[in-house]
Every structure is written in C-alpha cells, then in structure tokens.
Amino acid sequence: MAKVKVVLNRSGVRALLKSEEMKTACAEEALAIRARCGTGYATDTYTGKTRVNAMVWTDTAEAKRDNAENNTLLKALK
C-alpha cells in the first residue's frame, strides 16, 4: 500500500481558524454550555491573534457559589 503524504495549506488553516463560520460554531457551543449551566452564567466570543475564542463564565454571586460547590462549568463541558 502506498504512503500518503498530506500537506496542509497553512494560510487556509489560519483563515479557517479566524473565520466567521468558526466564530458562529464556537458561539453556538458556548451558548449550549451556558444553557446546561442554568441562570447566572454569561458567554462571549472574540477573534484573538491566531484563532476564534469562546468563553463561559459566572456572572452572578449565586452562579459563582453554585460553580464553587458543584463544578457546574466543568460538568457542563462533558
């Protein structure tokens, strides 16, 4: 069987990681995680230096307490 060599187009991969489609996909995943957490959590999506980033964090004192006692954010990732 012949060996196959795959060469990635670096500029294409870079463009994909910073694209609006990737930003939309990350935002959808962050919103799904926030929905599994319950109330008091917030999300944000931004384009960094090398790729799109999405984050979910506690936005209220009740959510901070809930996350500290139950690891809500970690469990929502699974």
Q: How far apart are CA 13 and CA 7, in angstroms?
A: 11
State residue 24's pLDDT score: 97
**Which class for 56: exposed (0-12), middle (13-18), buried (19 or more C-beta within 10 A)?**
buried
pLDDT of residue 61: 97
Q: What pLDDT, on the 0 to 100 scale, is given for residue 36? A: 96
- Our CA dihedral for 35, 36, 41, 44, rounded to 10 degrees, sits at -60
Tell me what pLDDT residue 31 has: 97
From first to last of its 78 residues, the chain has per-residue pLDDT tens of 789 999 999 999 999 999 999 999 999 999 999 999 999 999 999 999 999 999 999 999 999 999 999 999 999 998
Do 34 and 42 contact (CB within 8 A), yes or no? yes
